[in-house]
Amino acid sequence: MKTIEGSVNGSSKRFGLVVARFNHFVTEPLLDGAVAALKEHGVGDGDITVTRVPGTFELPPVAARLARSGRFDAIIALGAVIRGGTPHFDYVANEAAKGTAEVAMRTGLPVAFGILTCDTVEQAVERAGEGASNKGWEAALAALEMADLNSQLGAAGL
């Protein structure tokens, strides 16, 4: 039996990050967590590119553009959708989930989903704290593992 599994070693891998500015008090800590995780796992500062967009709804098209550029091994999308009194939440959250998944499926490049969908500001802030409970950190770990898995699958001719 053969098992192929990615590791979280990011040396010589390049990552494109796209961050929503909406709810920046949550998304900037998510970005900090993601960048810290990448660097902790061997990614060079020059191999990290950060782009910012107005809101989570705008994440998928920019993720697609980064993915198609051929310059990255994985993309990390970071945003925070917090439920208000309007149906806007569902539209933004659904489109972001559908859109980022579609980018990954169409391009074959991993797109990590670091987008919080929370009922309250408190829940969002809780998920953007220091350390491994930070969802940006978690998304970066997924991107690292998937980037390495892709390399290994390629090396195995799969």
Binding site for ligand INI (CB under 6 A): 20, 22-23, 54-58, 79-82, 84, 88-89, 92
Minimum distance from CB of 104 to ligand INI (Å)?
A: 20
- Measured from the Cβ of residue 34, the count of other Cβ atoms closer than 10 Å reads 28
Minimum distance from CB of 117 to ligand INI (Å)?
A: 9
CA distance 113 to 69: 19
Considering 71, 88, 98, 106, which one is annotated as catalytic? 88
Q: Which residue lies nearer to ligand INI by CB, 13 or 127?
A: 127
For residue 112, which phi and psi values (nearest 5 degrees)?
-80, 140
What DSSP character marks residue 96? H
Instruction: Name the residue whose CB lies closest to ligand INI.
Output: 55
**Is 88 labeled as catalytic in the residue annotation?**
yes
For residue 79, which phi and psi values (nearest 5 degrees)?
-160, 175
Minimum distance from CB of 59 to ligand INI (Å)?
A: 8
Q: Which amino acid is it at 96?
A: A
Q: Catalytic positions, please? A: 88
